[in-house]
Chains A and B, each alone.
Chain A
Amino acid sequence: MDHFPTNWGRPRNDAFDAYGTYPIQQRPNNIKDNFNGVQRTQQPIVTGTSVLAIKYKDGIMMAADNLASYGSLARFKDVQRLHAVGNHTVLGASGDMSDFQYIQSLLDDLIIEEFTEQDEHTLGPAEIHEYLSQLMYGRRSKLNPLWNSLLVGGYKDGKRFLAYVDLLGTTYSASTIATGYGSYIAQPLLRKAVEGREDTLTEREAQAILEESLLVLFYRDARSLDKYQIAKVTESGVSISESMALRTSWSFAEGIRGYGAQTQ
């Protein structure tokens, strides 16, 4: 029996227990919420949309636009969603941007610690991906997820690496991966263009494939932007491009009901 009257709760709560059916010791106590002073992420707030990535002849290539949305509001239009992790790895994120920036800071610390060891062992994409998988799975198991779908791409010791991990800790690897809306719209295009040609696709071809997919996404995904960056990881390391603009064309819309001037 709790002897502190302040914890007994109000004796009557018309909305909850209009007829006082609860005996006193079972009445709801006065705790305001179930969080015990701790807040957990229940939903993403400022979000990035799809990330696309493919394997090609010299390594892997990844693309994401520069938009961070606040619901349907295009809130930040110059956000970078591709992040270099050491010299062999690039990380691309969709989902909650503040969680992503937190992950970036974790990884930056990790890379500094690894660097200070000053031995010949460095973290490659496979190790970064495993670390992130453990991080994401650990957080989902505390019911406090980092609300992202992440792509990890890289090239180390002559091997390409491309894999996915999301807020549930689900992982997989494939020669083309797209997150979010892109998994429905871009992934089929990427598979058609890449599967079976991973070892012959040139850098130009790879970039053209990604740009074509970004373009289709921009036409169809209301949370996307025509400004994007492309990252590549090859033998010679990571490079992330400056922001570029998609070359859109709307003339085809003329003939589509709902876009152009309607004749009836």
Chain B
Amino acid sequence: MPQTRSFDPYTENGGTILAIAGQDFSVIAGDTRQSEGYSIQTRYAPKVFRLTDRAVLAVNGFAADGNMFVKKVKQRLEWYRHAHAKDMPLRAIARLIQTMLYAKRFFPYYVYNILGGIEEDGTGAVYSFDPVGSYEREACRAAGAAQSLVQPFLDNQIYFKNQVPAPGTTHPAYLSLPDVLSIVIDSFTSATERHIEVGDGLEIYIVFAKTRDLQDFETIRAKNVHLIQELTVAEDGERIFVLRRDLKKD
């Protein structure tokens, strides 16, 4: 007779993440609510993590798997540092994540990963993964509870789907940082309005390429000094910041 197990090793902890790549920057964001069923477990459980000065990983799905996965990725990156005395490049981290996810193909990490950061050629990049490791590089991606709310919005705002440029003009190839930040914040305030598992707090990580002029960012930073924190470790390299905001808590 087939045996049934009553123990289900998975749960779903809600929340949403998204990332958008600019020409020479990358923005990775996630809300901070953790829930199970209709209960909010905590209003502050980070889902977005700095891996290196040029790589940020957002994880969404089953929180216990997510935290363990991030911990293991970080330890693999530490071994890479021991062996090579430098940080792993973004595209290599992406491939590492795919092999680590696929290694558990038949007892998967129930998490959707989005990796954002700066490539070795200085371009902003976003990689998105499914739980068993399929991945691709994209310009933007939303995942998690409110993916179905946010992704169509991004398709419209980032890829200009269903928009017709004014006669004689074209859509811009890349969006500016202020535009991207506005889109991220609007995505989360909207998702908070319409999805019960999204809310409480928002963490937006911003990674800048080495060569980027930070003038536009510094104006934003000056207006939000208490909200923005720099996480860069090494000098003369990519720079990484986190912007923390409140979302509605109801």
Question: Do A and B touch directly, given a CB cutoff of 8 Å in the complex?
Answer: yes
Query: Does A252 reach chain B (CB closer than 8 Å)?
Result: no
Query: Does A116 reach chain B (CB closer than 8 Å)?
Result: no
**In whole angstroms, what is the CA distance A42 to B13 when docked?**
22
Q: Which of B11, B36, B42, B67 contacts A173 (CB 8 A)?
A: B42
**In whole angstroms, what is the CA distance A143 to B9 when docked?**
7
Min CB distance, A171 to chain B, in Å?
A: 7
Q: Are B10 and A168 in contact (CB under 8 A)?
A: yes
Q: Which of A33, A141, A174 contacts B42 (CB 8 A)?
A: A174
Closest to B68 in A: A137
Q: Which of B6, B11, B107 contacts A170 (CB 8 A)?
A: B11
Known A-B contacts A171-B63, A174-B41; A141 and B9 likewise in contact (beta carbons under 8 Å): yes
**In whole angstroms, what is the CA distance A162 to B195 when docked?**
28
Query: Does B231 reach chain A (CB closer than 8 Å)?
Result: no
Count residues of B near A (Cβ-Cβ below 8 Å). 23
**In whole angstroms, what is the CA distance A43 to B39 when docked?**
23
Known A-B contacts A172-B45, A174-B41, A187-B39; A43 and B67 likewise in contact (beta carbons under 8 Å): no
Known A-B contacts A16-B1, A34-B3, A143-B5; A168 and B42 likewise in contact (beta carbons under 8 Å): no
A172 partner residues in chain B, CB cutoff 8 A: 34, 41-42, 45, 63
How does the 8 Å CB contact mask read for A141-182 relative to B, with 1 for contact and 0 for none? 101010000000000000000001000111111100000000
Min CB distance, B136 to chain A, in Å?
A: 28
Q: Are B6 and A43 in contact (CB under 8 A)?
A: yes
Closest to B71 in A: A134
**In whole angstroms, what is the CA distance A250 to B43 when docked?**
36
Query: Does B227 reach chain A (CB closer than 8 Å)?
Result: no
A137 partner residues in chain B, CB cutoff 8 A: 64, 68
Query: Does B7 reach chain A (CB closer than 8 Å)?
Result: yes
How does the 8 Å CB contact mask read for B193-231 relative to A, with 1 for contact and 0 for none? 000000000000000000000000000000000000000
How does the 8 Å CB contact mask read for B1-22 relative to A, with 1 for contact and 0 for none? 1010111011101000000000
B41 partner residues in chain A, CB cutoff 8 A: 164, 170, 172, 174
Query: Does A104 reach chain B (CB closer than 8 Å)?
Result: no
Closest to A178 in B: B39
A16 partner residues in chain B, CB cutoff 8 A: 1
Q: Are A169 and B64 in contact (CB under 8 A)?
A: yes
- The B-contacting residues of A in range 170-199, CB under 8 angstroms, are 170-174, 183-184, 187
Min CB distance, B189 to chain A, in Å?
A: 22
A contact residues, range = 20 to 34
**In whole angstroms, what is the CA distance A239 to B34 when docked?**
31
Q: Are B1 and A41 in contact (CB under 8 A)?
A: no
A143 partner residues in chain B, CB cutoff 8 A: 5, 7, 9
Closest to B8 in A: A168
Q: Are B64 and A42 in contact (CB under 8 A)?
A: no
Query: Does A140 reach chain B (CB closer than 8 Å)?
Result: yes
Closest to A144 in B: B7
A41 partner residues in chain B, CB cutoff 8 A: 7
A34 partner residues in chain B, CB cutoff 8 A: 3
Q: Are B36 and A170 in contact (CB under 8 A)?
A: yes
Q: Are A170 and B1 in contact (CB under 8 A)?
A: no
**In whole angstroms, what is the CA distance A16 to B2 when docked?**
11
Q: Are B43 and A174 in contact (CB under 8 A)?
A: yes
Closest to A42 in B: B6
Q: Are B9 and A170 in contact (CB under 8 A)?
A: no
Q: Which of B9, B39, B42, B63 contacts A140 (CB 8 A)?
A: B9
- The A-contacting residues of B in range 107-133, CB under 8 angstroms, are 107
Min CB distance, B199 to chain A, in Å?
A: 15
- The B-contacting residues of A in range 11-70, CB under 8 angstroms, are 16, 33-34, 40-43
Min CB distance, B60 to chain A, in Å?
A: 14
B3 partner residues in chain A, CB cutoff 8 A: 33-34
**In whole angstroms, what is the CA distance A16 to B7 when docked?**
26
How does the 8 Å CB contact mask read for A97-115 relative to B, with 1 for contact and 0 for none? 0000000000000000000
Q: Can you give 21 contacting A-B residue pairs, CB < 8 Å? A: A33-B3, A40-B7, A42-B6, A42-B7, A140-B9, A143-B7, A164-B41, A168-B10, A168-B11, A168-B62, A168-B64, A170-B36, A170-B41, A170-B64, A171-B64, A171-B67, A172-B41, A172-B42, A172-B45, A174-B41, A174-B44
Knowing that A173-B42, A174-B44, A183-B39 are A-B contacts, what are 14 other residue pairs whose CB atoms are under 8 Å apart, sorted by A's residue number?
A16-B1, A41-B7, A42-B5, A42-B7, A137-B64, A141-B9, A143-B5, A143-B9, A168-B62, A170-B13, A172-B34, A172-B63, A173-B45, A187-B39
B-binding residues in A (CB < 8 A)? 16, 33-34, 40-43, 133, 137, 140-141, 143, 145, 164, 168-174, 183-184, 187
- Report the 8 A-B pairs with minimum CB-CB distance, sorted nearest first: A169-B64, A172-B42, A174-B42, A170-B64, A34-B3, A172-B41, A42-B6, A140-B9
